[in-house]
Amino acid sequence: MAVVAAVVLAACGGSSPSALDPKGPAAARIADVWWLMLALAAAVYVAVAVLILMASRRRAEGQDRRLPLGEHTFIWVGGIAVPTIILVVLAVVTVSSTAELTRAEDNPLRIEVEGFKWWWEVRYPEADIVTANEVHVPVGRPVEVELTTADVIHSFWVPELAGKADMVPGQRNVLRVTANEPGEYRGQCAEYCGLQHARMAFLIIADPPQVFDDWVERHQAPPPEPPPGPAADGERIFESSSCAGCHAVRGTSAVGESGPDLSDFGSRRTLGAVTVENNRDNLGVWIADAQAFKPGNLMPPISLEPDELEALIDYLESRR
Amino acid sequence: MTTAVAVAPAHSRRRTYPLGWWGMVVLIMTEAMIFAGLLGSYFFVRAISPTWPLDHIEPPELARISLFTVVLLGSSVPIFWAESGIRKGNQRRLRIGLLLSFLLGASFMVNLAFEYEELHFGVRDNAYASLYYAITGLHGLHVFVGLLMNLIVQIKAWQGKFSASRHLTVEIFGLYWHFVDVVWIFVFSSLYVSLHIP
Amino acid sequence: MAIVEERPVEEEEVEHELHEVWEDAPGIPGFFATVDHKRIGMRYIYTAFIFFFIAGLQALFIRAQLTVPDAEVVGPEAYNQLFTMHGTTMIFLFNTPVLAGFGNYLLPLQLGTRDMAFPRLNAFSYWVFVLAGIFMYTSYLVGAPPDGGWFAYLPLTDKVNSPGLNLDFWGLGVIFVGISTTVGAINFIVTTFKLRAPGMSINRLPIFVWSILAMAFMVIFAVPAVTLAAALLESDRLFGTAFFDTARGGSSLLYQHLFWFWGHPEVYILFVPAVGMISMMIPVFSRRALSGYVWAAGSLVAIAFISFGVWVHHMFATGLPALAMSFFSAASLVIAIPSGVLFFVWIATMWQGRVRWTTPMLFSFGFLLIFLLGGLTGVMVSIMPFDWQAHDSYFVVAHFHYVLNGAVVFPIFGALYFWLPKMTGRMLSERMGKLSFWMMFVGFNLAFFPMHVLGLFGMPRRVYTYARGLGWETLNVVVTVGSFLFALGTLLTLVAWVQSRTRGAPAGDNPWDADSLEWAVASPTPHYNFRAIPVVNSRHPLWDQEPLPEASSGDEEATRSLGTPGALDRATPITTGLDAAAEETMAIPRETYLPFLLALGLAVFFTGLLVEALVVGVAGVAVATLGLLWWAWRTEADLV
């Protein structure tokens, strides 16, 4: 019954970042392991539960209460022999799937992801690109994500693509990820990292190779001048106000390091590490009082005149 | 109706160990685990460190501590001697043995104090320093507690409270003191000797 | 052995004298000074249940907050404190002590002796437990409850990332309460080895005693690791040492190793005594001896051993070398085998007997169905690749609640219905008990089964909220409904307890027709337990030995305390380790304030560390040292 429930629920979990709906070889391998384990576990559960029910059923005084096989053999077979066989199967599965999942692939794309409280910096060392909270990858190409942390332990987890790996101080862990089809895959921090652990998510955006290459190229080209008008004013406000103290924008004097790099901010889908959608209204609220969406994050409230705020929003949304 | 039956006592030629002795044995097991954990931590950090000791701290010097290792291990001998003495009812051997052991243990503590005085690094400097102080300090604390216990036993001994048949306190104390000595062998080989093996 | 005497006739006079010898001083002095294992045991149980209801309330707040996405029942700060204290309380202040309480009450009775081996240490460990609990909860009064998770990983919990007192309450509290657990374990071990009724050789120990023994040995070897972890954490926080500071050559993973070296055995420290309880109740209500006694005892010991080889399966995602982790993956699989054996022992017992559906049996039955699932998911999460998905997701939350709630709390509730009549002399209502069970059972499964699915759908642990549209909404509502139903079920047992105290039916000596020695004495148990120590020659003395023979006092030192004269002397016999032959006599100490004072000294010491006030710390050490010295002097009578 429980198993049926699980299967039904699995079928209707369509909108979830579900480990059972794999979109890459690593997650698919783990999902295979899961279904095998589930089948074995269900069989064991049903068998043992039936034995428990039979053992505890009401029986008339004179009825036969002898154990099948006799006591000693019964315990031996049920408690040791059968479990051992199942466990050996599982051990073989463990070893083979572990080997498969940790095998290095040829010509991987290297991406560095560094955890901060409570957002992610994403760097492409070969292309010299820095962005945040969104990891763009080409479909079909193996990616090696190198995981580090700037502060406490975080954990990088995209259930639809792979298992998780921790970001441990003083350590560089590697997670191998490949996306089989284009799409947006939600990832989230899986190691408790303090106040806003719940709102530390990110997106892996898998694009066809051509689209990805364009994305890379666009990020390597000289940054576009802000269009004259409010956006250009916005740039001056950004550089001269406290924004630049924490945030960097490529091609400007803003090189702050404690907050996310905003060079391609306008193209990002969300604010505050997938806390709210990135649109003008939300951005306005965020700048005025970032604590409203995500209490405890490092960004202080910024008080600006309404027209200054509009200009700043114009500027940020023009960074793509 | 209940029946009362006579029970034959255990007739064993082996000597029996009273409850307090067993309690001390189990306490020592759990204490030993604390030292095992600390020494395990020491080797764990050492294994992940590029150099050891960290930050060009000099490995601890071996000569003097070797001498005091002999002194500390030697302090167990008078305890054995005292124990075998009181088992025969010999009060003098008990008192002298305890006193001798106390003096040896105390001199080990004095050396530890001098050693701390001369170290060129502080407990906060790095993980090596922290571990060094923690391990030697915890062991030192055990020696110190052992010396306190020795004092109590000794006062009782000079008051003549022990006899050939009743001297459990002495044995329990002895057990603890031997444990403190044995732990030092591990500390000594890990923190001192192993750094001088090329 | 020969029958040499009939019981003397001057009953009343003897009873009166026994009363004089054993009764605690009345009122407050007796309350603080008692060393009676039964009073201490019950106190342990009641105190632990106070913490159980507190931690349960915290769980309900957690569920209220998670019922719908983006809820604002509590803020992130309060939420993080709630789940930290929920876990910490359940592990350190409920599960561990409540089992210690049952052990305390039952062990001397099942062994056929008049108290624990170290009655004063016993009182001490209780007072330490209470004061440590109060210490940790003082954090709420000063507005700084721990918020680093019940595992307190660094560097989140170092002074930079957690500057407040919050984590100090946790770290010092864990060290403090660990003292209680360790001292208790020493007591259990020595009592089991040295204070058994004559004839109770090691192969006749009740299975509950085996479980307590296995638990105590695990405590002895595991608790030092968490004490060390917490001590080094506090040292880093208070004195600025560098054990876990990566920048100064330390390692935050070292903390995880130390913590889980204790943390995994701890799961079995809680689980094994619960298994012991189940293995006592199932035979009684199957009207048959446990099938495969040796199998069961062997499994408990095997679990105790293997539990020390599995800790790294909590660290599969930390990036350790795959080969090393495979070893721990394999060891974690192996531990399923002794659990499997236990299952078939229970099934064989029920199969060959005839089951009586009393409340304790219902709880045992619920335990079987729940633990079966928890065990199977346990095997799953020890498969490393799957753990990379399941780790720190709600799948794991589901798994360990099936084990620590289902497979530990259900036996404990069963044990309440089973053994409270012995402790209070009054039965609990069967009707209320069955109602309570069904509400707990249904609520439990509603609350925790969907969590498996939530985890697979990508919901991580320890999040105070979640976004809409991730497919987690419906299941979270179900979970919340289940958790409130479960809570209601536990309250019904509280009601049943109140009812039984006021108008419960008298229990009689042996209401369940059980086999072990605690059922040979009156309910509630008289202060001296046994007027004369029973002589055991069976694994099931009350079933096989009718009438139960009592030992008479011989003339020799070794047998003096066996009979009624021993009870009149406030003494109990010491027996040999394996075959339990009478060896010596132990005097049971009278009431004393020392244990309480010593525990108080420790509390002052830890408070001094907490507020970093040297004077207070030194005062605490001074009080504790003086207490110890006084203790050492006072023991002279029994030791020298």
| A196-232 per-residue burial string, b: 16 or more CB within 10 A, e: under 16 | bbbbbbbbbbbbeeeebeebbeebeeeeeebeeebbb
How are the residues of chain C apportioned to helix, strand and coil, as percentages rounded to the nearest 5? 70, 5, 30
User: What residues in chain C have per-residue pLDDT under 50?
Assistant: 1-4, 637-640
Task: Tell me how close the Cα of C229 comes to any Cα of chain A, in angstroms.
Answer: 17
Separation in Å, CA C255 to CA C86, C221, C306: 21, 17, 21
Contact C361, C355 (CB under 8 A): yes
Given a cut of 60, whether residue A7 has pLDDT beyond it is no
Mean pLDDT score, A134-149: 96
List the 363-382 stretch of C: residues with Cβ below 8 A of A.
Answer: 365, 368-369, 372-373, 376-377, 379-380
Contact A301, A318 (CB under 8 A): no
Task: Tell me how close the Cα of C345 comes to any Cα of chain B, in angstroms.
Answer: 31
Task: Tell me how close the Cα of C234 comes to any Cα of chain B, in angstroms.
Answer: 13
Structure confidence at residue C625 (pLDDT): 80
Q: How many domains does chain B have?
A: 1
Question: Which residue is closest to A166 within chain C, CA to CA?
Answer: C318
The percent of residues in chain A predicted with pLDDT above 70, rounded, is: 96
- Which residues, including other chains, have CB under 8 Å from residue B90's CB and lie 6 or more apart? none
Residues A90-127 pLDDT 10s: 999 998 999 888 888 888 999 999 999 999 999 999 99
Cα separation, C141 vs C513, whole angstroms: 48
A167 strand-pairing partners: A154
Angle between helices C594-610 and C119-141 (to 10 degrees): 30
Cα separation, C96 vs C125, whole angstroms: 12
> CB distance C228–B41 less than 8 Å?
yes
Contacts of C249 in chain B (CB under 8 A): 45, 49, 54-55, 126-128
Question: Which residue is closest to B53 within chain C, CA to CA?
Answer: C249
Q: Which residue's structure tokens are 């005062």?
A: C619
Q: Is C575 on the interface with B (CB under 8 A)?
A: yes
Q: Is C584 on the interface with B (CB under 8 A)?
A: yes
Strands A109-116, A119-124: pairing is: antiparallel
Cα separation, C99 vs C93, whole angstroms: 11
Name the token pair of A93. 């599965």
Cis previous bond, B53, omega within 30: yes
Question: Which residue is closest to B22 within chain C, CA to CA?
Answer: C190
> CB distance C3–B4 less than 8 Å?
yes
Helix (H, G, I), strand (E, B) or coil at A277: strand
Question: Which residue is closest to B1 within chain C, CA to CA?
Answer: C547
Q: Highest-confidence range of A153-157, A297-301, B5-9, C17-21, by mean pLDDT?
A: A153-157
Residues B97-129 pLDDT 10s: 999 999 999 999 999 999 999 998 999 999 999
By Cβ distance, the residue of A78, A90, A197 closest to C379 is A90
Cα separation, A190 vs A158, whole angstroms: 10
Task: Tell me how close the Cα of C506 comes to any Cα of chain B, in angstroms.
Answer: 22
Residue B139, domain member (yes or no): yes
Substitution target in C70, C81, C83, C156 with the highest count of A β-carbons within 10 Å is: C156
The CATH number for B121's domain is 1.20.120.80
What backbone torsions phi and psi does residue A250 show, to the nearest 5 degrees? -55, 135
By Cβ distance, the residue of C326, C460, C471 closest to A98 is C326
Confidence of residue B169 (pLDDT cuts 50, 70, 90): confident
Provide the residue type at A233 as one letter.
D
**ipTM entry:** 0.94
Cis previous bond, A119, omega within 30: no
By Cβ distance, the residue of C6, C190, C251 closest to B19 is C190
**In the predicted model, what is the mean pLDDT of chain A?**
90
**CB count in 10 Å sphere of residue B171:** 19
Helix (H, G, I), strand (E, B) or coil at C376: helix
Cα separation, A143 vs A109, whole angstroms: 5
Residue B192, domain member (yes or no): yes
Given a cut of 70, whether residue A148 has pLDDT beyond it is yes
Substitution target in C382, C387, C453 with the highest count of A β-carbons within 10 Å is: C453
Q: Is B197 on the interface with C (CB under 8 A)?
A: no
List the 85-144 stretch of A: residues with Cβ below 8 A of C.
Answer: 87, 90-91, 93-95, 97-99, 101-102
Residue B186, domain member (yes or no): yes
Structure confidence at residue C173 (pLDDT): 96
C449 dihedral zone (left: phi>0; alpha: psi -120 to 50; beta): alpha
Cα separation, C543 vs C455, whole angstroms: 49
Comparing C-alpha atoms, which of C439, C474, C260 is closest to residue C366?
Answer: C439
Contacts of A37 in chain C (CB under 8 A): 379-380, 383, 386
pTM: 0.94
Instruction: Quickly list H helices, C391-429.
Output: 394-401, 407-424
Q: Work out the burial of residue C590: count CB atoms within 10 Å of its CB; fewer than 13 is exposed, 13-18 middle, 19 or more buried.
A: middle
Cα separation, C435 vs C488, whole angstroms: 10
Helix (H, G, I), strand (E, B) or coil at C460: strand
Q: Which residue's structure tokens are 């075998």?
A: B84
Contact C572, C588 (CB under 8 A): yes
Name the token pair of C578. 């394996």
Residue B134, domain member (yes or no): yes
Structure confidence at residue A13 (pLDDT): 53
Contact C101, C44 (CB under 8 A): yes
Residue B168, domain member (yes or no): yes
Residue B76, domain member (yes or no): yes
Residue B23, domain member (yes or no): no
List the 194-233 stretch of C: residues with Cβ below 8 A of B.
Answer: 194, 198-199, 220-221, 223-225, 227-228, 232
Question: Which residue is closest to C390 within chain A, CA to CA?
Answer: A163
Name the token pair of C331. 């060891």
Mean pLDDT score, A190-207: 96
The range of the structural domain enclosing residue B161 comes to: 36-44+59-196
Task: Tell me how close the Cα of C347 comes to any Cα of chain A, in angstroms.
Answer: 6
Q: Is A169 on the interface with C (CB under 8 A)?
A: yes
By Cβ distance, the residue of A30, A99, A201 closest to C388 is A30
Q: Is C238 on the interface with B (CB under 8 A)?
A: no
Residues A219-234 pLDDT 10s: 988 888 888 888 888 9
Helix (H, G, I), strand (E, B) or coil at A267: helix
Residue B27, domain member (yes or no): no
Contacts of C366 in chain A (CB under 8 A): none
Helix (H) or strand (E) holding C601: helix C594-610
Cα separation, C476 vs C473, whole angstroms: 5
List the 264-293 stretch of C: residues with Cβ below 8 A of B.
Answer: none
Separation in Å, CA A63 to CA A52, A57, A58, C351, C357: 18, 12, 10, 11, 18
**CB count in 10 Å sphere of residue C305:** 14
> CB distance C389–A94 less than 8 Å?
no
Contact A254, A263 (CB under 8 A): no
Question: Which residue is closest to C294 within chain A, CA to CA?
Answer: A72
> CB distance C80–A80 less than 8 Å?
no
Structure confidence at residue C2 (pLDDT): 44
Given a cut of 60, whether residue B167 has pLDDT beyond it is yes
List the 344-403 stretch of C: residues with Cβ below 8 A of B.
Answer: none
List the 75-94 stretch of B: residues with Cβ below 8 A of C.
Answer: none
- Which residues, including other chains, have CB under 8 Å from residue A184's CB and lie 6 or more apart? A203, A204, A205, A206, A269
What does the DSSP 8-state code read for residue C420?
H
Provide the residue type at B60 as one letter.
P
Structure confidence at residue A132 (pLDDT): 94
Helix (H, G, I), strand (E, B) or coil at C613: coil
Contact A174, A144 (CB under 8 A): yes
Question: Which residue is closest to C150 within chain A, CA to CA?
Answer: A192
Cα separation, C468 vs C199, whole angstroms: 66
Q: Which residue's structure tokens are 């009724």?
A: C197
Contact C501, C424 (CB under 8 A): yes
Higher pLDDT, C25 or A199: A199
Residues A266-302 pLDDT 10s: 999 999 999 999 999 999 999 999 998 999 999 999 8
Q: Is C98 on the interface with A (CB under 8 A)?
A: no
Question: Which residue is closest to A27 within chain C, CA to CA?
Answer: C389
What backbone torsions phi and psi does residue A202 show, to the nearest 5 degrees? -155, 170
The length of chain C is 640
Contacts of A292 in chain C (CB under 8 A): none
Contacts of B137 in chain C (CB under 8 A): none
